[in-house]
Amino acid sequence: MNENIQTQRRNLPRDVFLHLFAIVTLYWSAVSFITLCWQYINYFLPDVLSLRYNYQSYIWPIRFSVASLIIIFPLFILASFYLNKIYRKELFVRESKIRKWLIYFTLFVASLIIVGDLVTVIYNFLGGDVTAKFILKALSVLVVAGAVFGYYLDDVRRQEPSKLARHFVFATSAIVLIAIVGAFFIVGSPKQARLIQLDQQRVGDLQNIQGQIVNYWQRKGELPKTLAGLNDSISGYVVPNDPETNQPYEYNIKDSNALNFELCADFNLNGQTGGVSRKSVPVYPGGEYSQSWDYSAGRVCFGRQIDKQLYPTLKKIK
């Protein structure tokens, strides 16, 4: 009779939920940690072949990984702690089918990742494409997958929770905490992130304005006297203002005959903050002529000259 009661209790909805929740948060935390490690590698060992490597290419993954680890990893620890507490009171819960299936599935996934990681290393080695960056990324996957595999392989063999589990939790928590804290030195504080976004908006606005000035020249054969002359009630275009101060951007005509002009704005930070690069940005979408948008903190002016051969005036229909 007692055995039947225990068998029924092994499949309680509570147990199913907790085991599923623990495994899902484990996978999420592991993937987030590996992603964070990879972005560390991308930051300290940037790929010289990646011409479009910029601030957003690694900042967004770092932010998402850090946010996931801050929320998901503690939930995994809490779920595991609660399950171990249940195991100590109800040892038969450790023998539930849902737990066994999930653990062996985790071992299966971890083993496939380890094997695939090693195959990739050998494949790239034979192809002569083994760099420090690649080796470190492969090693991060191997270490995380190996740690998960080793822990759960040991756990599934035991009839009682291991006393080393607490030390394992402390060790992994310390590593994750160090990774999270270190990430803030790369992405900066939320305040700095806000300032960077404002500066990026300014560059985007100036690029847009510059494109409108080129279009104005092509349509009318002269530079606009002021930025207000770019406003078009038919197309709906309105010249943007500074996103922080809501003041108009500065526009100066240096030489109307040579089509020289400059656009100015006040920036909060240096353009290279966080690895931002503004070089080789098209004059306007679809354009073939490249300009530099590097900037430093404070007032910066971008001098421009319209090439009449690249951007000839449009022929008027008679």
More confident site: 167 or 75: 75
Flag whether pLDDT at 98 surpasses 50.
yes
Q: Domain ranges for the chain, please list them.
A: 2-187, 192-305
Strands 250-255 and 290-291: unpaired
Burial class (CB in 10 A: 0-12, 13-18, 19+), 62: buried
Q: How confident is the model at residue 290 (pLDDT cuts 50, 70, 90)?
A: very low
pLDDT-derived band at 47 (thresholds 50, 70, 90) equals low
What SS3 state is found at 282?
strand
Q: What is the pLDDT of residue 193?
A: 83
**Global pTM?**
0.72
Please tell me whether residue 30 adopts helix, strand or coil conformation: helix
Each residue's pLDDT tens digit, 183-201:
988 888 888 888 988 999 9
Angle formed by the axes of helices 165-187 and 132-157, to 10°?
A: 150
Q: What percent of the chain has pLDDT over 90?
A: 45
Q: Inform me whether the pLDDT recorded for 301 exceeds 80.
A: yes
Contact (Cβ atoms closer than 8 angstroms) between residue 196 and residue 273? yes
* Beta strands in the chain, from DSSP E residues, in sequence order: 250-255, 260-267, 281-282, 290-291, 298-305
Q: Of 77, 91, 76, 101, nearest to 10 (Cα)?
A: 91
pLDDT of residue 167: 85
| Region 143-169 average pLDDT | 83
Can you tell me the mean pLDDT for 255-276? 82
The pLDDT assigned to 284 comes to 38
Confidence band for 279, pLDDT divided at 50, 70 and 90: very low
The phi, psi pair for 132, rounded to 5°, reads -60, -35
User: What is the C-alpha separation between 216 and 198, in angstroms, rounded?
Assistant: 27
Give residue 318's pLDDT: 47
Please give the mean pLDDT across all residues of the chain: 83
Q: What is the DSSP letter of 241?
A: B
Residues 114-149: tens digit of each pLDDT? 888 888 878 877 777 668 888 888 899 999 999 999
Q: What is the pLDDT of residue 16?
A: 82
Whether the pLDDT of residue 262 is over 80: the answer is: yes
* Rounded average pLDDT over 240-260: 94
Contact 79, 102 (CB under 8 A): no
